[in-house]
Chains A and B, each alone.
Chain A
Amino acid sequence: MAQKKVVMDAEAIDRSLTRISYEILERNKGTDDLVVIGIRTGGACLARRLQEKIEKIEGSEVPVGILDITLYRDDLMTGTKKPKLRKTDIPFSLDKKKVILIDDVLFTGRTIRAAMDALIDFGRPRLIQLAVLIDRGHRELPIRADFIGESLPSALWDKVDVKLKEQGKEDEVLIIEG
């Protein structure tokens, strides 16, 4: 039986997102030209939460877009099961914008590489900063996060599962030992 440990509960997740929101606003000196892009599917939920928190703090609404990176994956030809292709919805230009890219877990970095390729196809952002709820190490590409909820050392064969209430589950982060 695989060992399951709760690494973050609902309150911890909420506090991390609040802190990340403050850090983003501090680093970028406000919300001018700021947009948040969430990577499906976990990142998309977190993007909207970030938007709500930033609105509560600064009083202004930051545009949110959703990015599906399936078409940009580097493993489509390797025969692993293809994930369902969902819509990308970025209804505004990214030119000259400060893009906060957000995902739930940062692992090998390949998802972020794919996401950046996708964003560049949409226009020329002024800069891209990366926010993640969990950084679990084991990078296979030279990619790092600017804003991190929690750093979670993990073994390669462990599974890190972020469950979010928008997906019909309790907010929590689990590590399942492989």
Chain B
Amino acid sequence: MKLSNKDILNIEDLSVDEIQLIIDTAESLKEISARKIKKVPTLRGKTVINLFYEASTRTRTSFEIAGKRLSADTVNISTSTSSVAKGETLVDTAKTLESMNPDVIIIRHSASGAPHIIAGLLQQSVINAGDGTHEHPTQALLDMMTLREKRGTLAGLKVAIVGDIAHSRVARSNIHGLTKMGAQVALSGPAVMMPRYIEKLGVTVHNRMEDAIRGVDVIMMLRIQFERQGTAIFPSMREYSKYYCLTGDRIRLAQDDVLVMHPGPINRGIEIAPDVAYGSHSVILDQVANGVAVRMALLYLLAGGN
């Protein structure tokens, strides 16, 4: 049981079987995080480098813990304190690290396509931890794992994704993944944040949030990406919140047992009301736990054995 590629760069390139394999493996590895001694010797002696050009709490800590639980040696490079601050290029950084013989390099970068450049240059496995506005494959995998865990299957699930779709790599990866696995995806957000022609990916688009979430099984809220937008493309946070915040009232439009998801970090009160984020429908913290399991699965499948 193997992945066909040495890298994990996009959900778009993964087959349905590969996605199942990753989620199955993650489910088997999940119990390790509940043990008293949270370690197995499988990746002993393997080196995993986390190369993060952007800030991250969840993803980076998740990858570090995933590597350590498999007994790998994990190294974190945050570029603000590295030679990148002296002007070293991406390619030079990658080649320098390659000379130290790592087994897996995990990279998050603000430029879409940066991980692909590195993957093409290096023999080591490269995992995309988020590239620009393009994809965030491990987030989509943990989201799909959470949904499969809670609902048994992804096929036929009605999912609404709400927020700044245009700037969201999480949205893109989830759109590819969920449609591949047979779910129905509806998008909603302000017109200025909705990419044109996105229906071609097999999704429906609704300007009003209420239309997108009516009768759905899952609502996935996205964070308003202040750091990625630059100039203000909507009048105020309050206006955004008025039309696109997931409140206790709006959630009643969905199925009674609707699941509420968010990749984190949440902007309390802006895209999601705090009582919903921590309410009975929310699986946000399950997502985080599954994030460790999914990343363990990827490290195991890429680096565990030849």
Mark A residues whose CB is within 8 Å of B: 68, 71-72, 76-79, 82, 84-89, 117-118, 121-123
From 74 to 109 in chain B, residues with beta carbon under 8 angstroms from any chain A beta carbon are none
Q: With an 8 A cutoff between CB atoms, is B37 at the interface?
A: yes
Chain B residue nearest to A86 in the complex (CB): B28
Is B28 within 8 A of A68, CB to CB? yes
- Report the bound CA distance from A99 to B306 in whole Å: 33
Is A71 within 8 A of B42, CB to CB? yes
Closest 3 pairs (CB-CB, A-B): A76-B305, A79-B306, A71-B40
Mark B residues whose CB is within 8 Å of A: 1-2, 24-25, 27-29, 31, 35-37, 39-42, 70, 300, 304-306
Q: Looking at chain B's contact residues, is the secondary structure mostly helix, strand, loop, or mixed?
A: loop
A84-B1, A87-B28, A87-B31 are contacts. A78–B306 as well, Cβ < 8 Å? yes
Which residues of A lie under 8 Å from residue B27 when comparing CB positions? Answer: 87
CB distance from A111 to the nearest CB of B (A): 15
Is A85 within 8 A of B25, CB to CB? yes
CB distance from B304 to the nearest CB of A (A): 6
Task: Give 19 A-B pairs besides A84-B1, A121-B40 with Cβ atoms closer than 8 angstroms.
Answer: A71-B41, A71-B42, A71-B304, A72-B40, A77-B306, A78-B305, A79-B305, A82-B1, A82-B2, A82-B304, A84-B24, A85-B25, A85-B300, A88-B28, A89-B31, A121-B39, A122-B35, A122-B37, A123-B36
Chain B residue nearest to A95 in the complex (CB): B36
Which residues of A lie under 8 Å from residue B41 when comparing CB positions? Answer: 71-72, 117
> Which of A72, A78, A88, A118 has most chain B Cβ within 10 Å?
A88
CB distance from A129 to the nearest CB of B (A): 22
CB distance from A125 to the nearest CB of B (A): 13
